[in-house]
Amino acid sequence: MKKLTALFVLCFLLMGCNGNLSPYEQKLPFHPRVLRGKLDNGLSYFILENNEPKERVYLRLIVNAGSMNEDEDQKGVAHIVEHMAFNGSAKYPENQIINALERLGMKFARDINAFTDFENTVYTLNLSGNEESKLALAFEVIDEWMNNLTILEKDLDAERGVVLEEWRSRLSPMLRLGDKKSAIEMAGSRYIRRDPIGEVNIIKNISAKRVKDFYQKWYRPDNMSLVVVGDIDKGKIQSLIKQKLAHSFTPNTPLEQVDYSIPLLNQWRFARVSEPETDYRSIDFSLFEPYREIQTLEDYKQELIDSLLGGLLNNRLKDWEKQHSQLLDSAAFYDSLLGRETRQHLFTLQLAEQDYQGAVALLFRFLAEINQHGFSPQEFEREVARLQALNKRKLDLKRGSLRMADELMTASVMQRPLFLSQSQQYRLKSRLLKEIRLQEVEQRFRQMVALKSKLMLLTQPKATKLSLSSSAQIARLWHESFHQPQRAWEDIAPKDALPALDLTRGTIVDEVHHDKGDIYQFTLSNGSRLIYHYSDKSPQQVYFKALTQGGVRSVPPQDFHQLRSAAKVIDESGIGGLSPQALERLFSKNPLGLSTVLEDYYQGFIGSGKTENFEQVLRLFRLRLEDMTVDPEVLSKYKKDSLEYLKQRDKETEFARRLSKLRHPNVETVYSQRAENLSNLSATQIRRMYQHYIADKTDFTYFIVGDIRLNQVKTLAQQYLAGLPRKEQRRSAYPVVVAVPEKRLSVAGFSEPRAEAELYLVADKRWQAEDSYLLDILADILQEKLRLLLRERESGIYAVNASVFQEPQSPQMEGRITFSAAPDRVDYLLRLTHLVLDEIIQKGVEPELLQKKINEKKIQIKQNFDSLVFVLNQIEQSYLLSQSSDLIYLYQRLEQDVSAEKIHALAKKLFDRKGRFEAVLSQ
């Protein structure tokens, strides 16, 4: 009777059983709250009401055409069309689409954007409000994108340079390495001939007609989908879709079919790649098979079996890499799509030494051992329990509209779209995790390693000769490993709990509540303060910080690097006699963590965990203050990696070191480490350094923010925080004064035709909290002016970044402008940049632009407060700088007080030519 009941429930979940199909053959249901449909012209739409966050709406127009849809003479055109969508339509000539949307408070790149990949082009609009006027404009813009792009020759010519600069900005040794690896993994497929960025000659010379040909061929309603998620009325949105988008015409000709397949050779393949400008030593072992979309309950079950297998493999690999740390830096397993129709099971090893044959043989023995002996029941039970706990946590999560829009976007491109609600996913996984047996997971592993299509790909820094040189050698190693008896894995059960603590309980001697912000301030019996704020923005999540003044700028310069090393090595050695791997296993159901904070002027600890086990975060905190264990292997690896970094001779590292030395003369920085210091570093030094500077300074201000109730916070504070002896140290921190070199720093050596330009700005000024908001506004104004000039008018860059800031402890405010460009245009573009700075000094800022940036800032701040981490940082900064909550909402007053005069006064100081310094890294 129980089996019949369970079967009935399963059939009900799958929305009715077909008498001819077993429950596992039934099609999976769709999210019941998603309104989906198709217009007569073929446009598919998906609408979901979700008020997390309130008043926000996220729209995604998905065109099922990317670089794979291009003809031979159109390589890069799908991406060009994406650019042209912002550069002229019937109703919005040139780049007026951006102007129209920005007038609503939206910001280009943040709220208005698009991207092109192999298979799709996606346009994104993130609305900060759900007013009818904003929605109407958004649908008007979508209609223009779908039907009315003009793609004029003059507009295309103006945009070619921007597209070329986007291509240029991607150039790097790592990109070259990635392209080489992809060419091997996807050999024989259309993918390797259709990089979305395209070919330079085609970008330079393609006609507007051929660009328009692509647009007219592929931008048709039956080849598009629209996703709308947010604080909306889905009935009204459906009406808007029918009103605004139903008029589009769909041609009678069927869509041309595209070949997305990757040829799978039923044999071993072996390849080596190298990139001299990297120090990358790795082994990538892949097994390939055709991908099958999840449609039925059986498919869903198989996907869950794969998840279990992936977790079991990675759990073992973490212990395995530690057992072989002399040879391996890391080991991991990934299961992902390669293209649209191929599944790749990938084992990747990062090597500590260039013993490729030894590492390959080691990996094969690892896999053969699992093939022969499987996994232990205890391993399986732990992983099932972890997934069950994760499943429960996901049910309780507030799923934000942005994430749901992106998930629906992914679902929309499937042949049969699948998108489950949280409750649907929870019920399915809960049931299946109880049904799946260890034997099914082991069977799936054996099926995977038996796949015929295998690739062994070795990555070297330089193309040196190796003892491994053929697929026949690899196949022989594989055969030997799988036909030799392997020792069974010794499963070490995780410890049940952290070590015991002998704590002195303290008390709360004072309590103050601030209505604004709902913040509690407690004074503890040891003299420390605890700041607490309740928030369920991230359900069941709690953050903890213990901070005090200090940091690396408060210790003698000779201890600067040793203290940084000590914090890193001790963190990576574990806590309470447990390694990081053991801690991860112990808390696998509800992950948590604690690490050392070591900044320039502050130090302490940061941790986080789920509400139900947040007490364990505080136990880790107290254990860390007592335990400064140094793992010899961790120390040895740290010294080896750091010494290797010092030997790096790539141009980016050389540029960063020289730049740091010029701007920070006679000051220790992350770039001033010396080999002799590392070579002499010992475990005794590290423990002594950490004990003296970190553990023996406990005059903390504590912060607890998250989904945890007041009574629980009080109880935990008295048990773990109030009784901690308060140790103070008188250490005077020194400010870091930035120098302004007289001459430009020029470093040559790029192997690609690109240059990285940086312009630094420095001016003396006493820090004031009120200036932070003004400096942010000034940075936004500067960045927009530079974007409009250098990108939109000159087509000389793809993107420019401008930041303006002042650290509270610094006697100077600083600015930084960065962009990449063609080497022969850098001087000209830098001159234009100087002219923009000069113009702001002379004329100030336009009132309209200032108001626009204030409006954008209001939206940004409102969105930022949706993040629990942002809230924590605001509270922390306010109390550390003012000993109160006064600075948290300072922006509300500043929004009213900001003026063009105040912005201009700051700009005149910071943009003065005497404080400017150029640095260029070029070919």
Show the domains of the chain with their CATH numbers. 34-246 (3.30.830.10), 268-401+410-483 (3.30.830.10), 508-721 (3.30.830.10), 745-922 (3.30.830.10)
116 DSSP β-pair partners: 121
Q: What is the pLDDT of residue 838?
A: 98
Q: Which residues share a beta bridge with 813?
A: 763
pTM of the complete model: 0.92
Q: Residue 755 pairs with which residues in a beta bridge?
A: 821
Residues in the chain, overall count:
923
Q: Report which of 337, 88, 71 is spatially closest to residue 198, judged by C-alpha positions.
A: 71
Q: How far apart are CA 166 and CA 76, in angstroms?
A: 12
- What pLDDT is stored for residue 77 in this prediction? 98
- Residue 331's Cβ-count burial label (10 Å; 0-12, 13-18, 19+) is buried
- The catalytic residue positions are 82
The answer to whether the CB of 605 falls within 8 A of the CB of 701 is no
Tokens linked to 431? 């049931």
Is residue 188 a contact partner of residue 259, using CB atoms and an 8 Å limit? no
Beta strand 519-524 pairing with 529-534: antiparallel
Q: What's the N-to-C CA distance of the chain in angstroms?
A: 76
Cα atoms in the Cβ-side hemisphere of radius 13 Å centred on 570: 32
pLDDT of residue 19: 52
Weakly modelled stretches of the chain, pLDDT under 70: 1-21
Reported as a single tens digit per residue, the pLDDT across 22-73 is 777 888 999 999 999 999 999 999 999 999 999 999 999 999 999 999 999 9
For 482, counting Cβ atoms within 10 Å of its Cβ (0-12 exposed, 13-18 middle, 19+ buried), the class is middle
Instruction: Tell me if 224 sits within 8 A of 62, measured CB to CB.
Output: yes
Contact 542, 609 (CB under 8 A): yes
The tens digit of pLDDT for each residue in 524-559 reads 999 999 999 999 989 999 999 999 999 999 999 999
Residues 242 and 248: their CA atoms lie apart, in Å, by 10
Q: C-alpha distances in angstroms, 173 versus 57, 200, 276, 350, 457?
A: 39, 18, 8, 17, 18
Closest CA to 788 of 24, 114, 84, 94: 94
Q: Which of 863, 35, 53, 867 is nearest to 408 (CA)?
A: 35
d(CA 87, CA 12): 51
φ, ψ at 546 (rounded to 5°):
-130, 110
The structure tokens listed for 575 are 């806590």
Which pLDDT does position 463 carry in this prediction?
79
Q: CA 627 to CA 691: how far, in whole Å? A: 9
Q: Give CA 552 to chain center in angstroms.
A: 28
Closest CA to 716 of 589, 597, 616, 605: 616
Contact between 59 and 142 under an 8 Å Cβ cutoff? The reply is yes
The per-type count for the chain, helices as H runs and strands as E runs, is 30, 23
Please compute, for residue 719, the number of CA atoms within 13 A of its CA located in the half-sphere on the CB side.
Answer: 13
Query: Omega of the bond prior to 53 within 30 degrees of 0, cis?
Result: yes
Residues ≥6 apart with Cβ < 8 Å to 205: none
Distance CA 902, CA 494 (A): 60
| CA 473 from centroid of its chain's CA atoms | 39
By the 10 Å C-beta count (0-12 exposed, 13-18 middle, 19+ buried), 504 is classed as exposed
Q: Where are the beta strands (DSSP E) in 326-391?
A: 328-338, 342-351
Using CA atoms, how far residue 831 sits from 292, 444, 828, 907, 911, in Å, is 55, 62, 5, 18, 14
Bridge partners (DSSP) listed for residue 812: 764
Spell out the residues 6+ positions from residue 397 whose beta carbon is closer than 8 angstroms to its own.
Answer: 422, 539
pLDDT at 7 (0 to 100): 36
CA dist., res. 410 & res. 291, Å (int): 16
- Look at the alpha carbons of 540, 609, 876, 619 in this order and tell me if their dihedral is positive or negative: positive
C-alpha torsion angle, residues 295, 300, 301, 307 (rounded to 10): 140
pLDDT attached to residue 577: 87
Query: How many CA atoms are closer than 13 Å to the CA of 280, on its beta-carbon side?
Result: 21
What tokens does 183 get?
Answer: 């060419």
